Amino acid sequence: MSMTVNGVRVSVPDDPRVSLLDLLREGLELPGTKKGCNQGACGACTVLVDGERINSCLTLAIQYEDRDILTVEGLAHEGTLHPLQLAFIEHDGFQCGYCTPGQLCSAVGMLAEFERGVPSAVTAEQRPGELTDDELRERMSGNLCRCGAYIGIREAIHQVWKGTAR
């Protein structure tokens, strides 16, 4: 069994108990994806599977045979940081940085969801097509930040969304 992680084909362990998070961090030595609660409550372990954001602590590696996994290590392209990474730096979207890889991967997936018109719990109350602060807060509510860097995180995501919105 194998999967692709950040563009590289890798083997999936035979042990069906290994979570995707543990495979990434311990098996593949990609420690960028963080283990916070290890029970689906904090979002620190967020990665993208075929472009969809998931909590990797809640999933088993064997579920993802032949799927494309993207972790924070794969966001930069040929030495150039992803626009969200640059915006997080510009807007002080982090302090200790522990939640940041999950915030970044989640934001990438969230912006793609928003672009596809996937609604959130507050969409009906918001201005259609506009990523309002309430909309952004709701859509990123699965990613906690113990340092409270939420203002900078939202500013950074907003800036990138404005740069890509049609």
Of residues 119-158, those binding ligand FES (CB under 6 A) = 145-147, 149
CB of 149 to ligand FES, least distance (A): 5
One of 94, 123, 140, 160 touching ligand FES (CB under 6 A):
94
Residue 61 or 149: the one with the smaller Cβ distance to ligand FES is 149
Selection from 68, 72, 135 nearest residue 102 by Cα? 72
- Nearest CB to ligand FES, comparing residues 38 and 126: 38
Instruction: Please provide the DSSP assignment of 7-58 as one string.
Output: TEEEEPPS-TT-BHHHIIIIIS--TTS--SSSSSSS-TTEEEETTEEEEGGG
Gap between the Cα atoms of 114 and 158, Å rounded: 12
Q: Which residue from 4, 86, 98, 159 is in contact with ligand FES, where contact means CB under 6 A?
A: 98
Site residues, ligand FES (CB under 6 A): 35-38, 40-45, 55, 57, 94-100, 145-147, 149
